[in-house]
Structure formats: structure tokens, C-alpha cells
Structure 1
Amino acid sequence: MLKVIRMNPIPYSMMFLTVLLSACLQQEDTQITLIKSLTKKGQSPVIQGDTAFFFYTGNAKNASIVGDFTGWQPKSMQKIIGSNIHYHTEVFQPEARLEYKLIIDNSWKTDPLNDDSCITDLGFNSEVKMPEYLEPEWIYEDEETPGGALYQFNLESKIFGKTRPVAVYLPSGFEKEAEYPVLIVHDGLDYVRRGRAQLQLDNLIHKQVIVPVVVLFVSPQERTREYRDDLKADYVRFIEEELLPYAVSQYNIKEKKDVRGVMGSSYGGHISLYSAVRYPDKYKYVAPFSPYVSIEVLESLRGSNSWKKIYLLHGTYDHLDKIHSSVASLNQLFQSMDNYTYVEEPEAHNYYFWRKHFAEVLKYFYGDC
């Protein structure tokens, strides 16, 4: 189990301080050239050992940094007197991957010296990847990998009185007479779009890392109410009484018994746990990622031990206190159970973290199914 060591910013090494001070007397173009030479062809931050050095050079009255490692609360960058260079240092674990932005005179922007960025619901963030961070292995296209079929459609729901967006994944070579494990993925269309779920499934199945599996990707329409509050019972009924029967009938799916899985992130983790409590004879594999858990569901989990496998994922840089407390409660509860896996890594509350472990859950659930 990984643990993050948080430390206060430390001073630059003498070499960095000397170089930065010498830059104070230079013209702006020279400063930019110097900083870029330090940051390996424009890549920022500079990483030495476990320390990341962030820079901003430009005319700014105020410069701050904000990100996963600040709890998304601004931290002022220090300015070298007589120059337009601002800097900030942080100490991270060698496996960390974190997102951040700069705030320059109240304007939020990506780091102009950092070519690494990622897309979020609110635009682009800059990324810092420490030297031992491992990129997800299964998210890249392989020309030799045959693709499974992904059917996206709106299903009419009598329970909700309206249509709902869903998707069904059938593996390459799907046979109507064969039995397949079924996995339910909450916030499913986000996992398809942002988690590269179909590509990961195709690669893992083609390489025979997992057995062929059928996946139902389900997305909410009123997320908080359906995943946490007053509509959660209707939501899981919709899956059990409407979506699953429709998929079985429409695509001639024969579900393999006692290996149905369910997974989701954040509130999606909550509804995954709730589903397993509500239908303990149906859901045998459960994977909550960075989950919130209510007292109601937590109490229902106590004494339950009907599941075959549990995979709990937590990012130590999660900015939500309720996630940390939920994970701590779940970890304490699950420790006495057989076939329980707890993974804690120096990352945060986002799909770039979760998509890496989508493949790990598939291997854990269906690598030996």
C-alpha cells in the first residue's frame, strides 16, 4: 500500500538558485530561453529526485499555483526580487501523477512551459508525472486487435417514465450460445469516452489476459439523486428489471452465474455498493473507485460477506474530505473479508486515475474466471 509523504516546499538547490539569480539580470527572452533549457525542451516542472520545481516567467503582479497537491486552493509562487521569475516547489512520491494550473493576475491558465496537459470537464489542466509513474498499459490502439461491438442507444424506462442512455459491449467473436460474465459500469458513457473502456476491453480480451466479458455501460440523468439520494432504489431497479432483461433479449446474452460485477467512481462507487447490498445474490464482484459511502449503505454492508471479490481504489491526493473518510471506513470494514484488494496511489479524483485501474479491475475479476 502506497502512502504519500506531504512536505512543505523546500529551497532550491544551490545550482538552481545560482542559475535563477543570474537570470534576474537578463532580458525576458533570455530568461525564457534559460528556463526552457532547465526544463528539458520546454517541459516543466523540473524534477530532481522527489522534488518538482514549477516556474513562471512573465510580467505578473501575482502568480499562484493550484492543483491536486494544493487541494485546488491557490498557493502563492515566490518571486525572485528584481526579476519576473516566479517559482514553487513540491515534494511528491516517485509514482505520482497530478494535475494543476497557474493563476496569473486572477486568470487561470495551463503552465506555458509544460507541454503535458489533459482535458477535463472544465477545460485543460497541466500534468506533472514523476519519474516512476507508469502510463496505463492497455489504452493504446493495436492494429492486430479485433474490436468488439459497442451498441449505444436510449432505452425506454417505465420506472422513470422516460428514455435513458446506455451502451452494451459485446466482445469480438461473441457467440449466442456461449455464457459470458456481465459487468455493470456506472457513469458508463464517461468510461467509454474518457476511460477508453472499449479499447481496453478489446486489448485485454485479444491478449487473453481476461476471458471475454459483456459490459453494460449505464449513465445517470440526475446523478446525485440516482446515485446517492431518493432515486437510487429506482435506479438499481431500472438496471435489474429493465436494462438487463432488454440486453439479454436483444443481444441473446447468456449470463454466466455468480460472476456479475459492478463498478463506479465517486458517487458511482456509492451506487455500486448499494447495488451489491440490494441484490447480494446477483452481484458477486464489486469495485468502488474513490467512493463516497453514506451511513445507510455503510451500515448495510456490516455483516455482509456474500461477495467473491472486492477492489477498493483510493487516490491520496483526492481533494474531497468525505472521500477520505468513506474509504477509511470501507477499508476497515472490508479487511476481514476474503478476496479483498485495496489499492492506494498518489493520484487524485479524476478519470486519468480511474481509467488506469479499469484494466486492473478487469484482470482481478475476470483474469481467472
Structure 2
Amino acid sequence: MSGRRMALNRLRERLPVDAAALDRFVARHGSPIIEGERATFLFRGDADAVSVRHRVVGLPDPLEMRRLDGTDLWAASTVLPEGSRVEYQLELRRGEHHERFNDPLNPRVAHSPVGSSSVCAAVGYEVPDWVRPDPEARPGELVEQVLRSKALRRDQPVHLYLPARFHRAKRYPLLVVHDGTDYLGYAAMKTVLDNLIHRLDVAPLVAAFVPPRDRLKEYPNHAPHARFVARELVPRISEQLPLVDTPEGRCLMGSSFGGIASLSTAVRYPGLFGSLLLQSASLVFTDIGTEHGGGPYFDPVVKFVNRYRARPSAPVERIYMSCGTYEPLITPNRSMVPVFREAGMTVRFTEARDGHNWENWRDRLRDGLSWVYPGPQKFVYE
């Protein structure tokens, strides 16, 4: 803090203090208190123990909070480098009772399919302005369809995104998005596309947002899923809409297991897609032995990645990869970059001080999409 005392230390020097003073301190500072690279988490209440729970590699989990003498105020401090963004919850113990919840002193919350978490934003992190609705950006259209899939043996819903000023006299690149409804719901991807296309950062494109039924089964190198994408979804959209009919006009994207689904589909159908956009892809492998630490759901993932590493191929021309430095997948993602490059593909790899979560993936969308389909007119043909 360049010689300036931390707020919590100043409070300690005033102890003992009454409840009204604590009320004023908490109302003024909230939680967490960000002072340079120091983040201080606070909680007020009666408890036997309180801790900060998170998924930041390298940071103790749980991060134990300590109660200030003579008060009901609990605190824990840690270092968060500039630009960091961390999702967390608090865990409280009273006797044998344990409870986890979002930080009641922090209004900033992130959502995901498994619930919500509080957000700690360090100095230097800002929510990108292009993730919020822009009144000047003309909105694209979402069209919901249901495709009958022989490969999946079921009806498969798809949300098609058509850009603003869509015109059938033009041709558009195609983006196929795994976990499509989650990208729409938790990464604001329709708003992001509207804004990036309006700002000429990304070429006007058609996007197919495809939700899975059982992603843990269908996404790790699942032949029926790959067949659905390559032999059913892409041809049917191509029949309906004016698309660029070359590999460079087709991109597969996904995060986590969706990244594995994207890569494995491309490997099964080489040359169909020109690029991949992989976010925190679950590229787990074992160089020695069989223990990967991911549990049984990762067995087919590890089998696929091990086999690919043994015989690398270039199913696409270009791969955009992003990953958070605070997630366990950062090591395998870094390790796969030279493998992909040595196979003959162009790779752009970016890291962020964030974790395995939807807002991390949202914040990387401009960088990834503008690299795959740069604006304003490269992939739009009269």
C-alpha cells in the first residue's frame, strides 16, 4: 500500500469499538476491501469459524477468517495481483452445522448453471463495456428450431442467431457453439455478438447455439454427437441460410467439456471446419500412469487427449485458446499449445487472471471472435 496503512489495521488500532462503529466501518468499506494488491474479506455474525471458499490454484482453500477481538467482525486478507477476478463464497460453522453462502456484504454476483457466487475484482479488472446492451447496436435475431437427429436419436433444439441487417444476398460464416444456452444465459453472448458486429470488431455471422442433453456423456469424444454436428446440423443450416461454403467460414467453439467436444468433432471430420475457439478446454492427459485426478467422467477425455498427443493431426487451420491462470486446467492448456503448433496449426493462446467460470469466458469473447472472424467484411460475400 506504498506506506498507507490498511483499513483493517486502522480499525484494530481503535479496538475496542462498539457495534455502531463496526456498522459504519462495514457500510463504508463493504467486502472485500481492495487496497492495492491486497484483498480483505469481511463477515459479521456469530460463528465458531468462518472461511472464504474458492477455486483459485495457489491460494489456500479454505482461506480461514479470524475474528477481531471483542467484536463479531471476521476478516481474512490475501494478495490478488492486478487484473484478477475471483469468484468465491463464505463458509460458516456453528457447532456441527456448516453453511455456505454468497458474501452478504458484497452485492457483486456471478451466475452459472450450478448456482451463483460472489465476485472479487482486483485493481485493474473492469467488466468490458461490450458485454452490456448498447442502445446504438442494432440487435440480431434469435430463432429457435428443433432438428430431428438420427445420430442422437432425439429432437435437438437449436437457437440460430441471425445478425442485424441479415440479407439472403450475402453469405455469412457459421459459428457452432457448444453449451449454447449457457453461453446465451451466462456469458451474454447475444448481446456480445450484437455489440461486436455493430462496432466492426467481428464480421456479421450466423451462430448455432446448441445445448446438450447429457454433456458429460456427449461431449468427450462421442461419435453420435460429432456425427450430429458434422453430418446433420451444418448441412441443414447450410440448406436454410446463405453461408460461406468453405472451411474458413466454419468454426466450432466450446468451454470446458465443450472444448473437448469441439476438438474431437474436428478430429473426426478433418477439413470440415477451418477454426476452433476453445475456452478452458478440459485437455487433461497422462504422460505417465493412468491417474489423472478428474474422476470417471474424465476417463474418455484423457483417453482421447492421450491418443491425440501420441499422433497429433491438424483437423483445422487455426485454433484460438484461452484459459484462466487460477484454474487447474491452465497447465494442460499451456502444454497443448506446442502440440497443436507442431501439428501445423496456427494457435493464438491467451491467459487471464480468472478461473473456470462463465464470466472469464465471456470476457475473452472479443479477443477470440475477432481473431477467428475479423470485421468488418472479410467473411461476407455478395
- TM-score higher than 0.5 here? yes
Report the equivalent of 2:295. Answer: none
Does residue 189 of structure 1 match 2:181? Answer: yes
Counterparts of 1:287 and 1:243 in 2: how far apart (Å)?
18
Counterparts of 1:62 and 1:189 in 2: how far apart (Å)?
38
Report the equivalent of 1:248. Answer: 238
**Which string of whole-angstrom CA distances, capped at 9 and with x for unpartnered residues, describes residues 171-223 of structure 1?**
12222232211111111111111111111111122222222111111111111
Residues 69 and 317 in structure 1, CA contact (< 8 A), matched pair in contact too: yes
Letter in 2 for 1:339: T
Report the equivalent of 2:17. Answer: 26
Counterparts of 2:66 and 2:165 in 1: how far apart (Å)?
59
Shift in Å at residue 298 of structure 1?
Answer: 4.8
Shift in Å at residue 16 of structure 1?
Answer: 3.9
Letter in 1 for 2:266: A
Does residue 47 of structure 1 match 2:34? Answer: yes
* Structure 2 residue matching 1:100: 3-state secondary structure: strand
Report the equivalent of 1:327. Answer: 333
Residues 23 and 83 in structure 1, CA contact (< 8 A), matched pair in contact too: no
Residues 133 and 191 in structure 2, CA contact (< 8 A), matched pair in contact too: yes
State TM-score, norm by structure 1: 0.87
Of 91, 107, 123, the residue aligned with 1:131 is 123
Of 143, 150, 156, the residue aligned with 1:164 is 156
Residues 267 and 315 in structure 2, CA contact (< 8 A), matched pair in contact too: no
State TM-score, norm by structure 2: 0.84
Counterparts of 1:83 and 1:206 in 2: how far apart (Å)?
53
Does residue 60 of structure 1 match 2:69? Answer: no
Gaps of 5+ in 2: 284-301
Report the equivalent of 1:342. Answer: 349
Does residue 97 of structure 1 match 2:103? Answer: no
Letter in 1 for 2:219: Y
Residues 176 and 207 in structure 2, CA contact (< 8 A), matched pair in contact too: yes
* Structure 2 residue matching 1:268: 3-state secondary structure: helix
Count of residue pairs the alignment pairs up: 349
Aligned-pair RMSD on alpha carbons? 2.3
Q: How does 1:66-85 map to 2 (within 5 A)?
A: 66-69=53-56, 73-85=61-73
Gaps of 5+ in 1: 1-9
Counterparts of 2:31 and 2:266 in 1: how far apart (Å)?
44
Shift in Å at residue 18 of structure 1?
Answer: 4.4
Report the equivalent of 1:274. Answer: 264
Letter in 2 for 1:353: N
Shift in Å at residue 72 of structure 1?
Answer: 9.1
Q: Percent of counterpart pairs with the same letter?
A: 30
Q: How does 1:279-298 map to 2 (within 5 A)?
A: 279-293=269-283, 294-298=302-306
**Which string of whole-angstrom CA distances, capped at 9 and with x for unpartnered residues, describes residues 78-103 of structure 1?**
22233222111111110111111111
Report the equivalent of 1:3. Answer: none
Shift in Å at residue 359 of structure 1?
Answer: 2.2
Residues 182 and 256 in structure 1, CA contact (< 8 A), matched pair in contact too: no
**Which string of whole-angstrom CA distances, capped at 9 and with x for unpartnered residues, describes residues 38-65 of structure 1?**
x1xxx32111111111112222221111
Counterparts of 2:280 and 2:259 in 1: how far apart (Å)?
7
Report the equivalent of 1:6. Answer: none
Q: How does 1:202-213 map to 2 (within 5 A)?
A: 202-213=194-205
For structure 1, which segment, 294-303 or 152-161, has the greater mean C-alpha deviation from structure 2 after superposition?
294-303
Letter in 2 for 1:258: P
Does residue 359 of structure 1 match 2:359? Answer: no
Counterparts of 1:333 and 1:349 in 2: how far apart (Å)?
23
Letter in 2 for 1:74: P
Shift in Å at residue 13 of structure 1?
Answer: 7.5
Counterparts of 1:329 and 1:146 in 2: how far apart (Å)?
41
Letter in 1 for 2:25: L
